[in-house]
Chains A and B, each alone.
Chain A
């Protein structure tokens, strides 16, 4: 039984027919329900639309769902009052309808079976599937402790499964948005300003005079508010400086594009700090009033001259000076953007620290055109018993390490699932809701090895993504267009809440997360933590606490409140107590020092691609979100596969033509499963290749995207772990071209 989870298929006998019948049935039912719902609650005008907020990425734009004459979902438009989107969704949000109509959706609960040596799934009822999970969870709790079950989640459902897990006594709730995404910057900003950035970023791009993008490719990264505000900034004549080894879309909109040699940003940042300090371009008053460690910093960068950085970054000294002056002149209305996906080279927290320090010197934190102060808004939680105190946490698996990580490391849980003699307990059960770990975590081999050691893998998803293929139980969640979720709260310039409500009855036999979690809680005897009948009751109760109601939110979708005080920016000379050890902005970090890390960032060289290999660079395509949209018909229309960007010089060296398909092999001899189409373009350097993340799906049930393009994840086998917070640096992988089909070659020999 060692290899219990060989790659399995879902037996689809009868499933298609059922799905069809189920689909058309519930469609009819759906429109009837909507009909009655509207008649009972909404006035004539509103009958044509219901509010939602988008789940295609984590910007959570609020919008309206509109219907066609048959009462079926037609389109989604942004809500004009929403601060995240200002009435304009991004292409993915606009294409969200494709997720609802996707014929490949998960349709019923599935349970793994072994039939004559072959692993397949069979359809199951919800009751059976949930009982199965509950029994396994109880068994793990009995034999190893409830903390040995972890939750991986990304998205709305996480709230309910999180509560469920906490109710069982486990706090091991991990999201890839930390250690695979923004973790390094959050830690860096916490240890500099005493506050993390979080989402949506509090960058005041709209009013900035100078925007510095270090690898953040806004415009391809379609985080809506950022894109909109960058465009406003262009209109207002702001200077944009983009540091990116690739000619990103943002770079093409910039006054300065610094085509930096990959992995050398810290050197550039230190040189900028040098110029800003030694040419006295920094905000003296701000630095004196709010920061500590300036003198140490000054000493530290004394010899980090632009000339020094030139040798490392290949950016000319006069450009480094010129751009530093642009920032200085714009100060404090300048943003050195903290980026978002920042797990690149393993020294990412230090790079983010350099960015934080630079912002501090320019006085942009808390200032108009820099970083505004968030208005945070939270709703009271529905009364429930105290969660039990967990006996152990994931941290015990990593004694003395990653103490500065602020949340659970997804990769950490994964590592701690693989049995090892020095751990008292390994994880035995995973619940995965809304994250496709196979494509999301680097080093697939490791992820799969961890999964092979599980006693329970339950996956809640909408689509038959790779992760579902490894599950013991698959639970089909309905899409965000078919369900209520928690009220959207969070941070923005003004306090604001948004409602998501169903625009249709769930298609097929799918259910919302809140229902699944609540039913599972019942089976586990934890219903006290979910002490409401329906989610409408819960939401209405919460909304009434703040003087609104479900009915009102159904009508308006988004509600904006006043700020408590006029404190969007620091007032002149305002005394601020920062949430750091010293109460000041810490240019020099004693906390880092105490943990044994550099209190001031240092540049360390990184490995370079060997002869014939190229650095594997990846990023976002504007019309897709990771792997989740790869099968969405409205979005595959825009981009159905990713391509491999290759510099013309490299292409001619290899004799590769435009549009030719090639396979890739990385430094660890891993070859891509599928070939990828080459785009010969000047937009990429000769030492790297680039592709959009999220393609190369190998689940046949994803009929639109199966085998389209290549997966960057499968080639990211070398992970550069950030010692400070455990982030997984993913840009240290090198690939070479394989021009012939490796399968054919293998068959020949």
Chain B
């Protein structure tokens, strides 16, 4: 028998017996960030494609919620900070090595853009709304004129944001479960998938819904592929990553992950969407809601399980 114990009674709060420094705010923050990124990617993409009219929800309606989502995300992050009074320190340096730092800066770019985008489209949702001041109107006109440039910037930073939600974790070589480069694309895909789901939920156009349902199926397919790929990577890697993967393969996170994330959050809603496309009449909101919940649970599970996974020595 091999016994390895700490004999000095160490019981540091939030670190022992297992790391749990990041509670619910961080996965929530990452989920919301990913979701907003997903929506904004679609909005800017179809703007650049000139398909505003074809996908009005994606381009005009859905982005309206992104400022709220982003602010909620930032609030969650702020809530999680232990030294809140020094929050401003985030914006006194740019530290490219630190995902936290460039994430903060990315948000610093994306959030105003999301506000601008919403401002440009607010009248689509509220036709009677108008700006009170002329200079705002002038500003609006300016952005509207350069909306393609705006869309380019937005799509780039939204992609960064989407990837960032994964990189924040994967940059931690200390947590074997997180330490995989697949997490970036995976979280980006997941963010886009939840974004697509939101669009499906909000859209009133059957055509748009079908389009995004189809897109979602593809994204879910990619996600499943990446997940399988991730596990293959783990299992082909070092002992620590094999152990980390074990958390999902027989370990404590097996059921939540495979049942709630993979089945209820990916396979089942994708199947529903397939049926829907084939013309079956199903309650429209079930699949997208499952996708969104699945995405949320996915972030939580990765955040929690990742903190448990550790190097063995």
Contacts and interface: CB of A to CB of B under 8 A. Distances in A.
A639 B8 CA distance: 7
Interface string B1-39: 101010011000000000000000000000000000000
A681 B3 contact: yes
Contacts of A681: 1, 3
A279 interface: no
A682 B9 contact: no
A637 interface: yes
A147 interface: no
Given A638-B9, A679-B5, 12 more contacts: A636-B9, A637-B9, A638-B8, A639-B9, A640-B9, A648-B1, A680-B1, A680-B3, A681-B1, A681-B3, A682-B1, A682-B3
A721 to B, nearest CB: 35
Contacts of A682: 1, 3
B311 to A, nearest CB: 22
Contacts of B9: 636-640
A682 B8 CA distance: 19
Nearest to B2: A682
B8 to A, nearest CB: 5
Interface in A635-665: 636-640, 648
Contacts of A679: 5
A113 to B, nearest CB: 40
Nearest to A638: B9
Interface in A656-680: 679-680
A679 B1 CA distance: 13
Interface in A618-639: 636-639
Contacts of B1: 648, 680-682
A648 B1 CA distance: 8
Nearest to B8: A638
A650 to B, nearest CB: 13
B308 to A, nearest CB: 18
Contacts of A637: 9
Contacts of B5: 679
Contacts of A648: 1
A638 B9 CA distance: 4
A640 B8 CA distance: 10
A679 B3 CA distance: 10
Contacts, number: 14
B145 to A, nearest CB: 64
Nearest to B9: A638
Contacts of A680: 1, 3
Nearest to A648: B1
Contacts of A638: 8-9
A639 B11 CA distance: 11
A680 B5 CA distance: 11
Contacts of B3: 680-682
5 contacts: A640-B9, A648-B1, A679-B5, A681-B1, A682-B1
Contacts of B8: 638
B52 to A, nearest CB: 62
A638 B1 CA distance: 25
A248 to B, nearest CB: 13
A217 to B, nearest CB: 14
Contacts of A636: 9
Contacts of A639: 9
A679 B4 CA distance: 12
Contacts of A640: 9
A681 B1 CA distance: 8
A640 B1 CA distance: 25
A200 to B, nearest CB: 26
A680 B3 CA distance: 9
A98 B5 CA distance: 25
Interface string B151-194: 00000000000000000000000000000000000000000000
Nearest to A682: B1
A648 B5 CA distance: 16
A224 B283 CA distance: 76
A627 to B, nearest CB: 18
Interface string B183-207: 0000000000000000000000000
Q: Which 6 A-B pairs have the closest CB atoms?
A: A638-B9, A682-B1, A638-B8, A639-B9, A648-B1, A637-B9
A132 to B, nearest CB: 42
A517 B5 CA distance: 47
A640 B10 CA distance: 11
Nearest to A683: B3
Interface in A252-269: none
A637 to B, nearest CB: 6
A188 to B, nearest CB: 34
A682 B9 CA distance: 20
Nearest to A681: B3
Interface in B257-301: none
A680 B9 CA distance: 17
A638 to B, nearest CB: 5
A676 B83 CA distance: 39
B55 to A, nearest CB: 57
A417 B199 CA distance: 89
A343 to B, nearest CB: 27
A680 B8 CA distance: 18
B18 to A, nearest CB: 15
A634 to B, nearest CB: 11
Interface in A87-108: none
B282 to A, nearest CB: 48
B15 to A, nearest CB: 15
B195 to A, nearest CB: 45
A679 B7 CA distance: 12
A648 B3 CA distance: 11
B10 to A, nearest CB: 9
A636 B3 CA distance: 22
A639 B7 CA distance: 8
Interface in A592-637: 636-637
Nearest to B3: A681
B296 to A, nearest CB: 33
A640 B9 CA distance: 8
A704 to B, nearest CB: 13
A525 B5 CA distance: 59
A406 B5 CA distance: 44
A92 to B, nearest CB: 14
A649 to B, nearest CB: 10
A78 to B, nearest CB: 20
A679 B5 CA distance: 10
B305 to A, nearest CB: 22
B256 to A, nearest CB: 24
Nearest to A643: B5
A686 to B, nearest CB: 13
Interface in A728-745: none
A639 B3 CA distance: 18
Nearest to A647: B1
A681 B2 CA distance: 9
Nearest to B5: A679
B294 to A, nearest CB: 35
A503 to B, nearest CB: 26
A681 B9 CA distance: 17
Interface in A199-217: none
A727 to B, nearest CB: 31
A571 B3 CA distance: 50
A680 B1 CA distance: 10
A464 B8 CA distance: 26
B225 to A, nearest CB: 41
A540 B259 CA distance: 80
A87 B8 CA distance: 22
B12 to A, nearest CB: 11
A627 B106 CA distance: 58
A673 B286 CA distance: 57
B134 to A, nearest CB: 61
A505 B51 CA distance: 83
